[in-house]
Amino acid sequence: MSRRRLILLSLGGTITMLPSAEGGITPKLGAAELVASVPALGEVADIIAESPARLPSPSLTPAHLVETARRIEDAFAAGADGAVVIQGTDTIEESAFILDLLVAGDRPVVITGAMRGADAPGADGPANLLAAARVAASEEARGLGALAVLNYDIHAARFVQKTHTTLPSAFASPMVGPIGAVAEGRPRIFARVPRKPVLPAAAGPPAEVALLRWAMGDDGRLLGALPSLGYAGAVIEGMGAGHVPADAAQAIGDLAARMPVVLASRSAAGPVFTETYGYPGGEIDLIRRGAIPAGMLSGLKARLLLGLALRGGSGKAAAGAAFAPYQ
């Protein structure tokens, strides 16, 4: 078999950070320096290392990830066998899902980062980077869409979540668990998830979508302001399986008459229901008023899918079609 070729794109994050004179750690290392710091990568594949950005992940935008998807597509067209994306962990679950939605084909796209800075005792960046490269270069990972690889766990992009602020084991997939692990230096896939429809990266960044999490006693007074603020749609993280107080249901219906509204859950795992609770403010009532159920997707990921579906001025029909595969 010919030697594998990988494109490695670094966007910044803790994995690239070193102490600064001003205090704390900041992004300093580029992709080439990260590759050079892990000599074992040379045994995995020939690596093309690029640094499109050097940002902490809270400063990344969906536009950065759309451009990253385009770079990956170009690299695949030029013959690369897989891709590794490096970034900060704060937004990995969102970035992974954007790449899952935008990069077509069977070649692996793997995103990784680190919970500890590059100079910290027990820094996890080198091990995560090597594990990610091994997954991206493997036959086993083909056809699985975008993956997040951290702490030797392999997560499907649509399920992965950051669940802790500091532990190296911060990433989990509450709905299904990791779909594999890197053990003895090779990926082992325990379960395969089917690909969902892919949207074109060439259509650009997602439209602006508001994300609101419902809290006890909230009456929905913010909803009426969303259209005038320039949002193209909204995602509501309801309580439980997708519920709001009875006196707020009309506000959601009024908003759904003006823009696409997606109903997600604020719970860590589990699908939004569609046919169980019929009381005012229950999911049956909200869907009848025009809300689109998010299915298995979290509010963060539903926001990204809705924004991509609404590019170019598309409306509720396009939004409904985009969420149908996730029910």
Residue 267: is it exposed, middle or buried by C-beta count within 10 angstroms (0-12/13-18/19+)?
middle
Residue 177 to residue 32: CA distance in whole angstroms: 33
- Using DSSP, state whether 86 is helix, strand or coil: strand
Residue 160 to residue 148: CA distance in whole angstroms: 7
Residue 40 to residue 233: CA distance in whole angstroms: 46
Q: Which residues are annotated as a binding site?
A: 57, 89-90
Which one, of 309, 311, 310, lies nearest residue 325 by Cα?
309
Q: Which residues are annotated as a binding site for substrate?
A: 57, 89-90
Pairing of strands 180-183, 233-238: unpaired
Q: Catalytic pick from 14, 16, 26, 112? A: 14
Amino acid (one-letter) located at 187: P
165 part of the active site: no
Phi, psi angles (nearest 5°) of residue 15 = -60, -25
Here the tokens at position 317 are 């029909």
Packing angle, helices 299-309 and 316-323, rounded to 10: 130
Amino acid (one-letter) located at 296: M
Three-state secondary structure string covering 119-165: CCCCCCHHHHHHHHHHHHCCCCCCCCCEEEEECCEEEECCCCEECCC
- 194, 161, 211, 255 alpha-carbon torsion, rounded to 10°: 40
Residue 148 to residue 99: CA distance in whole angstroms: 11
Hey, which residues are catalytic here? 14
